[in-house]
Amino acid sequence: MIDLEMPADLAQFKLPLAVDQRLQYLLDRQDQGETLTLEERKEAEGLVDLAELLSLLQVRAQRVAQSTAH
């Protein structure tokens, strides 16, 4: 389980540095043609899904902030 701190500004919501570095490590290995284990592949897929979710939350927070500013 990944523990994420809830920032006051959702636009700042992002993966913790160590988690982001782990994801980059796994993706870099895969890009270099190394075969990931099943566990590593599942881990990478889960982290990509989490990163995408956080990106969507950032976009939503930005849109809400823009709509309330007008």
pLDDT, tens digit, for every residue of 12-58? Answer: 778 889 999 999 999 999 999 999 999 999 999 999 999 999 888 88
pTM attached to this predicted model: 0.75
Instruction: Evaluate whether residue 5 is within a structural domain.
Output: no
Instruction: Evaluate whether residue 12 is within a structural domain.
Output: no
CA torsion angle for 39, 43, 49, 55 (degrees, to 10)? -170
Instruction: Evaluate whether residue 24 is within a structural domain.
Output: yes
Instruction: Evaluate whether residue 4 is within a structural domain.
Output: no
Domain count, the chain: 1
Task: Decide: 41 and 47 in contact? Cβ < 8 Å.
Answer: no
- Give me the domain span that covers residue 23: 17-68
32 DSSP 8-state letter: T
Instruction: Evaluate whether residue 1 is within a structural domain.
Output: no
Check residue 15 and give left, alpha or beta (phi > 0: left; psi -120 to 50: alpha). beta
Instruction: Evaluate whether residue 7 is within a structural domain.
Output: no
